[in-house]
Structure 1
Amino acid sequence: MSRSYQSPPQLSASTSSLIGTNRVPSEVEIVEIRGVLHDRRYRLASLAETSTSSAGSQMLYSLQKTRDALQGEVADLLALLSPSRRLSPELVAEIFELCLPVGGLSTSVFRANEAPILVAQICRGWRQVALSTPRLWTRMTIYLPLGHLPQSVWIAAIARASFASLLWLSRSGRYKLHLYVQYVRSDESDRSQVWLPAATELVSRLLLRHGSQIESLTVFLPVPCVSALLRISCTSLRKFMIIDHGLWWHGDYHLHHPPVPIGVYMAGQLRHLVLDTPAFDLQRTQYPWDQLTSLHLRQQFPINLVDSFNLLCLCRRLYTFKLNVVNPTGMVVSERFVAHSLRELWLYARPDDSGAFLGAILIPNLKKLVVGDAHHQNALLDFLGTLSRPLLSLRFHRIHDMPEEDLADALKFVPSLTELSTDSICHNLILMMMTPEDGYEPLCPHLQSLIMRLHLANEQLIELLEARCGTAFRDQGIAQLKTAHLTFMDFDLRDEAWEWDDVAWMKKVDQWRRQGVDLQLSDFNWNEGWDGAFVAAFGE
């Protein structure tokens, strides 16, 4: 008795039309798709058994073609059942936003293998979602690859960058924008003015099209390139940074071409301003100084003492002031300037210049002080003695030769500190003075964050950590350390001073970390320098 042949089930015309699209199948169509998928998988399994017992090249070739066709059908059917099809466009857009590079604009180039460009290449549906999600296109880094190209194609490269940036930003809708513009530097590009008009035109087009949307703008270009800021309204700009190392100037350029006045036309929206350029002329700028809350000036090129105080007179709402100051011989400030609004001061200077600045200013409400490059001990102590409110944070940045006794004397003036960071190497003196004992109040009893370089690790360090990372002295008003980043500068001497059981020590470290202490122990190799990061110590 012969068996009748039954043709394999097929998708209906309406369901077949879903293949190659992003449409979501209905419940009825899902049942139909699963039935056909079950049949194709069964046929593939049967085909695999048949191919093992078949002989002859012609038969194997036919079976292989059938298998490939079935595998293609299975892939199409599985794609129709993919859970991603049922995600709403709003949820897909949220996922795309989480895929954006996490680094700052200065390190994000937005390559083709990164979001948002990457997710826009997956399929037509996702591309449509990406292009219709303005928040994906609000951050952009524009690199002008001058240093990598011959001078003959510089203008064309800048024109392409201008077109690409405008196309990118056209997808941002009405959202606020964050832009970073930088040229790739080289000896040739640093000292050439050939590309300046094209770069100026690029900035002008960006500001003309999107100036009202830009919330933060960083320009690593010569000052003339941002002259458009004088005539274009940037009503949303709250953070502006311009960095110009001035290497493109030729000899006596400044004698024949006065500094280009730069400024921002806005209704007092600017809050954070960073200016690092030798072409910057304080008397010829147009900025809403009285609206600024954060001002960083010339980290590489110092300003003089009088100009710094003139700026403080204009910036009545300034909260953070960062500057590199120089005090020319013979320059004298008649009376101490009182900066009532300042809460943070970052001062970088040579010892005498630092002393001159601190000796000429009063900051009664200061909360954070950063002293960089060098310090004047007597002036620092006198300044700390004038503070009328508790100083909470003190940092000595890039000062590697500060005597431990000087640090101890400074800390005696600020018992209210909750944060301390120093780049100078400390020995046992500071550790002993910070270690609490019964009936003895240590230095900085309220300290919660400690970043310090140590000569080596020994028992004194253990006593400090046991006392300050735990809660044994809480009833005496001694705060518990929440952060301790300790770097050992002479780690090779560890065995000479270490008389502690390593296993017991690691158990203590684990215990403090479980209690919520951010404890990082690392060593520094003087021969190799910073190896990109701290080298983990104690076998971690």
Structure 2
Amino acid sequence: MSTKHVRSFDALSCKPLSTVEVHPSLSVVPPIERLPVEILAEIFILCISYSDHPPLISRSTEPPISLCCVCKRWQKIASELPRLWTAALVCTESIKLEVLNELPQLLYSWFSRSNQLPLSLKFTSDDYNVMNMFTACVAPFASRFCHLDVDLNNFICSSPTDLQLSASQPTQTQLTHPDRSWSTLQFLQLESAIIRGNIEVHSDLETPLFSFAPRLQRLRMDNISFIGGTPLQLVLPWSQLTHLILVNLLESHLWLQLFPMCPALQHGLFDVFEDFVPTPSTAERATFHHLTDLTFAFNDPINPSILGHFDFPALKTLRLSNDSFISSDGGDLDDSMFWTATTRSRLYQQVAPLERLSLNGSWPFVCIFEAATHVVELDLDDSVDVSEAVHSPLRLRLPYGYSLLPNLRVLSMSINLDFQIDVLADIIISRRSVDCGIRIEKLTLYPSGMQKYMKRLTEKLQPLINDGFIVEICDTTSHWCRQLDPTWREGIIEIEG
């Protein structure tokens, strides 16, 4: 490399001041182009790592496509970096009509750059006739998907006809007739899936959702309905599931069939309805040795005996929700048909291991609190009456001298009325007294309308705050529903606990 010697001169005397060596290559090439390929590759990965969603394949203004449009060097680096092409978001609303038919080929080109790494796909469409196209997109790479997030208006799963379930790779028949081929796909690496659209299980045929997925453990279905059918007709590896979320309302007798099919569950969320009083013959008794987190919503009326068939020796977190009203004074309960002595006795056995309890709606709080003696964290939804749920129960002392929830350390709730500030402050102060034993250490308030109450509450609790007590406002407005959100980046469905 030749070096030029350039002299600088004084503008007035024209006498030389100094000599500067100039390297032409360095003066022309921008600093960004001097970076080694390895560093550029890490920067490219970071460009997609902090996004809230996978890369949208139809948008050239977002990475990784935008990275390929800068220059030939960047295009070569990006296209040869497999980690950039392992996740994709397909939204048919953002794709022009003339490009829509080419979608399977576009997605094939995208994933072909991933060099056999595990894949993740999010596919959304409001077109009722897109199931065939979706299947054609998935088929070539079915064995490599680790996570699927599908939002279609109608998720149609036809039973196989002349196609073989044992095919290791998609056959030409599968690609030619994608409406029939879904049930033949082998998802060898699939670990989690979210199906947000309608899934209809009819009485006259099987519905193969994932006929062969030996690693599937986490499943969320937002809108499943059994039209005369039963859970037995929905072909899934039920016994493998560790996480199961059913967002839509499910009839209680169907839930009683489905729940025992999942003995490996660790986390579950179910919303059950219908006035149905179970009998011992309606459900298979089961013990869930791994179930640590259970969210259970009752539609009117509340029927806690539906859980009486099952044992939860490992249960640590329980969330209960209901839409009906029931007396919660701990005395004579209005709904004695459900809250019988037998129901209460089973409740004591089932919630004994609990450490975290969340209640939404109206409940017989004294009954539940008395059973859950090991609870460390209590979360009360904003629909709960603070004075009803907290004031009496948490101050009440049982005959043997101990308060309910004696191990409580963290209380989370929302305040809606001025007088609730005084009630809550009194509770905290009384539970922080010297003779109380284990003391409440933290109060979390949900932000709906909380700013106007925060100053007054802080003033009342200031001496405790000086002594280490923590008061904070949660950064979410829908703490009950947040449990439904998927954690896309890790390819799992997260239920906090």
Q: Using structure 2 for the length normalisation, give the TM-score.
A: 0.69
Describe the SS at the equivalent of 2:244. Answer: strand
Any conservation in 2 of the 1:101–1:108 contact (CA below 8 Å)?
A: no
1:213: which partner in 2?
144
Change over 3 Å in CA distance of 1:144–1:360 after alignment to 2: same
1:168, CA displacement in angstroms?
1.6
Residue by residue, what CA displacement relative to the aligned partner does 1:413-448 show, whole Å, maximum 9, x if unpaired? 2121233222224435625765899x9865434444
Asked whether 1:484 is paired with 2:444, we answer yes
2:193 is aligned with 1:245: no
Could you say if the C-alpha distance between residues 242 and 386 of structure 1 is closer, same or farther in structure 2, counting changes exceeding 3 Å?
Answer: same
One-letter amino acid matched to 2:135: V
| Structure 2 residue identity aligned to 1:231 | T
**In structure 2, how many angstroms separate the alpha carbons of the residues matched to 1:163 and 1:484?**
50
Aligned to 1:451: 412
Q: 1:363 to 1:109 in 2, by over 3 A?
A: farther
Number of the residue aligned with 2:491: none
The code of the aligned residue for 2:145 comes to I
Match of 2:375 in 1: 417
Partners of 1:274 and 1:230 lie apart in 2 by 18
Q: Structure 1 residues 105, 127: closer, same or farther in 2, change over 3 A?
A: same
Is the 1:364–1:387 Cα contact (8 Å) retained in structure 2?
yes
Secondary structure in structure 2 of the residue aligned to 1:145: helix
Q: Does the CA-based 8 Å contact 1:227-1:261 persist in structure 2? A: no
TM-fit CA distance, 1:157: 4.7
Write the letter of the residue equivalent to 1:417.
V
Instruction: Give 3-state SS (helix, strand or coil) of 2:268's partner.
Output: strand
1:387-398 pair list within 5 angstroms: 387=350, 389-397=352-360
Find the aligned partners of 1:126 and 1:204 in 2 and give their Cα distance.
31
* Residue 263 (structure 1) aligns with: 209
Query: What amino acid does structure 2 have at the position aligned with 1:519?
Result: E
Query: Does the CA-based 8 Å contact 1:350-1:373 persist in structure 2?
Result: yes
Partner Cα distance (1:412, 1:116) in 2 = 56
Give 1:93's match in structure 2, choosing from 41, 62, 65.
Answer: 41
| Residue 133 (structure 1) aligned with residue 96 (structure 2) | no
1:79 and 1:98 map into 2 onto residues whose CA distance is 28
Displacement of 1:240: 2.1
Distance in 2 (CA, whole Å) between partners of 1:106 and 1:96 is: 14
Give the alignment partner of residue 29 of structure 2, picking from 80, 87, 91: 80
**Structure 1 residue identity aligned to 2:413:** M
Q: Partner residue of 1:175?
A: 117
| Identical-pair percentage | 18
Paired residue for 1:23? none
Residue deviations 1:354-395 (CA, integer Å, cap 9, x gap): 434234433233222122343677377555312274202222
Alpha carbons of structure 1 residues 410 and 76: separation in structure 2 relative to 1, 3 Å: farther
Cα contact 1:485–1:521 (8 A) shared by 2: yes
Give the alignment partner of residue 307 of structure 2, picking from 351, 355, 358: 358
Q: Which has the higher strand share?
A: 2
Higher helix share: 1
Q: Distance in 1 between matches of 2:370 and 2:202?
A: 49
Give the partner amino acid of 1:337.
R
Alignment of 1:432-451 (within 5 A): 434=394, 442-451=403-412
Kept in 1, the 8 Å contact 2:292–2:316? The answer is yes
Q: State the 1:179 CA deviation.
A: 1.0
Greater Rg, structure 1 or structure 2? 1
Q: Provide the secondary structure at the position in 1 that maps to 2:288.
A: coil
**What's the offset of the Cα at 1:100?**
1.3
The one-letter amino acid paired with 2:208 is I
Q: How many residues align?
A: 420
CA contact (8 A) 2:183 2:208 kept: yes
The equivalent position to 2:64 in structure 1, one of 106, 116, 120, is 116
Q: 8 Å contact 1:110–1:140 — kept in the other structure?
A: no
Which residue identity lines up with residue 348 of structure 1 in the other structure?
A: A
Q: 1:329 to 1:421 in 2, by over 3 A?
A: closer
Could you tell me which of 261, 266, 271 is aligned with 1:314? 261
CA-CA distance at 1:322 after TM superposition: 2.0
Aligned residue number for residue 370 of structure 1: 319
Q: Which residue of 2 aligns with 1:64?
A: none
Conserved 8 A contact 2:56-2:90: no
Letter in 1 for 2:69: Q
Structure 1 412/90 Cα, relative in aligned 2: closer, same or farther at 3 Å?
farther
Q: Structure 1 pair 128/279, CA: closer, same or farther in 2 (3 Å)?
A: farther
Cα distance in 1, alignment partners of residues 44 and 244 from structure 2: 35
Which of 229, 232, 240 is matched with 2:185 structurally? 232
The whole-number CA distance in structure 1 between the counterparts of 2:294 and 2:195 is 20
Kindly tell me: are residues 340 and 254 of structure 1, through their superposed partners in 2, closer, same or farther at Cα, counting changes over 3 Å? closer
Distance change in 2, residues 1:204/1:260 (3 Å): farther
Q: Distance in 1 between matches of 2:226 and 2:66?
A: 40
Distance 2:67 2:275 in 1: 56
SS in structure 2 of the partner of residue 417 of structure 1: coil
Which of 328, 348, 355 is 1:385 aligned to? 348
Which protein, 1 or 2, shows the higher relative CO under an 8 Å CA cutoff with sep ≥ 6?
2
- 3-state SS in 2 of match to 1:348: strand
Residue 99 of structure 1 aligns to a residue in which SS?
Answer: helix
Q: Per-residue deviation at 1:286?
A: 2.5
Describe the SS at the equivalent of 1:395.
Answer: strand
Letter aligned with residue 306 of structure 2: F
Alpha-carbon offset, residue 166 of structure 1: 1.8
Give the partner amino acid of 2:142: G
- Is the 2:56–2:62 Cα contact (8 Å) retained in structure 1? no
Alpha carbons of structure 1 residues 434 and 318: separation in structure 2 relative to 1, 3 Å: same
Determine which of 234, 238, 244 is the counterpart of 1:289: 238
Moved more, 440-449 or 91-100: 440-449
CA–CA separation in structure 1 for the residues paired with 2:469 and 2:35? 38
For 2:14, the equivalent position in structure 1 comes to none
Provide the alpha-carbon RMSD of the alignment.
Answer: 4.5
- CA drift of 1:101 comes to 5.4
Q: CA separation in 2, counterparts of 1:407 and 1:101?
A: 44
- The offset of 1:315, in angstroms, is 2.1
| Deviations 1:263-285, CA, capped at 9 Å, x for gaps | 32436211112233226852323
Relative to 1, partners in 2 of residues 1:409 and 1:261: Cα closer, same or farther, differing over 3 Å?
closer
Q: CA deviation at 1:290?
A: 1.7
Residue identity matched to 1:200: N
- CA contact 2:104–2:136 (8 Å) conserved in 1: no
CA distance in 1 between partners of 2:476 and 2:111 (Å): 45
CA distance in 1: counterparts of 2:116 and 2:476, whole angstroms: 49
Unaligned runs of 5+ in 2: 12-21, 158-178, 327-334, 478-497
Q: CA deviation digits over 1:220-278, x for unaligned, max 9?
A: 222226753321221101112223237xx9xxx979xx566223243621111223322
